[in-house]
Every structure is written in structure tokens, then in C-alpha cells.
Amino acid sequence: MSTVTPAAIVFFGLCALVVGCAGGVALSRNILHAAFLLLGTLAGTAGLYLFIGADFLGVAQILIYVGGILVLLLFAVLLTSKVGDTRLSNPSAGLQFGVPLGVLLAAGLVYLVFTTPWPLTEAVATPMTGRPGEAFLGEYLLLFELASVVLLMALVGAMVLARRAVKGRSPDAASGGAAT
């Protein structure tokens, strides 16, 4: 590509975000950092989905991965790590960086709002949500229902696996006799 288009900048920016954060996930020594870097990877992937024209999947990615799986992962990190393993310290950069950055950001946003010629006529959007929806309820109805059953089984299975002892038994007896 001879000229640098805005689309190329966005695409390669998202690529750098995804690959950089993924490398952090795979190599980071701190498991909490890995979990938060996974957030960057998943958000970048969602951006790429939008970029590729799959807007439904992009939103589903954010809803399911960032809203569900990542929160579950963070719970698991905090439940399973020994307190010494995760350093929860949050070194703040302090006011001397935060205030100028905030003022700069606010000024930039105000400038952007008042100088941009906002298009007041509605552009005709080309939604990609309808066709997958029709496919789910038509050609792939059986698969769709199967996915529901799989999710239900996963839900019940996760509850059974992660539950504490059955009432009236000691925790050791319950974890030893999980087959009951």
C-alpha cells in the first residue's frame, strides 16, 4: 500500500494492540496483569470484528468475553492465588500527571466537538445483524438449540464442581466423595 489510509492506521493499531497484549498474557509474571492484558486482546479483537464487518459478533465478543469470561477469570485469579502471589498494589502516578492529562483531554474533546462538521442527515447503515439472526432461526436452528443445551450443562456443571460441601457433611467428605 503506497499511501497510508486511516483504515490502515486503525487496522495496524488494532493489530499491535492485539499482538502486544497477547504476548503480555503469555509471558507476564503477574497473573493479574495477564488477566488485564487479556482484556486488551479481547477488546482489540472485537474492534477487528467490527472492522471486518461482523458488527453482531463484535458486540457479542464484548458482551460475552469482556463482560462474562474475563470477570469469571478475575474471580478465579483472586480465589486461587495465594495472597503473596498477586501484588495488588496500584501505584498511582499522582496529580502532577493526572491533572494536565485530564485538562488536555477535556480541551481536545471540546475542540473536537465544536470544530467537527457533524453530519445531520442520517447515513443509511448496512446492518449485518439480520442475516445471522435469520440463519440462527432457520438453517442452524438445531445447532442453536444445542448450543443452549451445552451452555445449560456448563452452568450446572460449573455449579456442581465449584460448590462447597453438601449441607450436613464435612468439606473433606464432600470433596472426597464428589461422585455421589
Residue 77 near residue 31 (C-beta atoms within 8 A): yes
**Three-state secondary structure call for residue 86:** coil
The site map against other proteins for 17-36 (x = CB under 8 A) is -xx--xx-xxx---x--xx-
Do the Cβ atoms of 67 and 60 come closer than 8 Å?
no
Backbone angles phi, psi at 85, to 5 degrees: -70, -40
Take residue 20 and report the three cell numbers written for it: 502486544
Dihedral Cα 101, 35, 21, 19, nearest 10 deg = -150
- Choosing from 113, 162, 167, 179, the residue that interacts with other proteins (CB under 8 A) is 162
Work out which of 99, 105, 106, 135 binds other proteins, going by CB under 8 A. 135
Residue pointed to by grid coordinates 463482560: 67
Q: Which is nearer to other proteins, 9 or 107 (CB)?
A: 9
Comparison of 105 and 153: residue with beta carbon closer to other proteins:
153
Which amino acid is located at 32 in the chain?
L
Contact 38, 73 (CB under 8 A): yes
Choice from 101, 157, 170, 177 touching other proteins (CB under 8 A): 157
Rule CB under 8 A: say whether 125 interacts with other proteins. Answer: no
Footprint on this chain of other proteins (rule: CB under 8 A): 7-8, 11, 15, 18-19, 22-23, 25-27, 31, 34-35, 38, 41-42, 45, 48-49, 51-54, 56-57, 60-61, 64-65, 68-69, 72-73, 75-77, 79-80, 128, 131-132, 135-136, 140, 143, 147, 150-151, 153-155, 157-162, 175-176
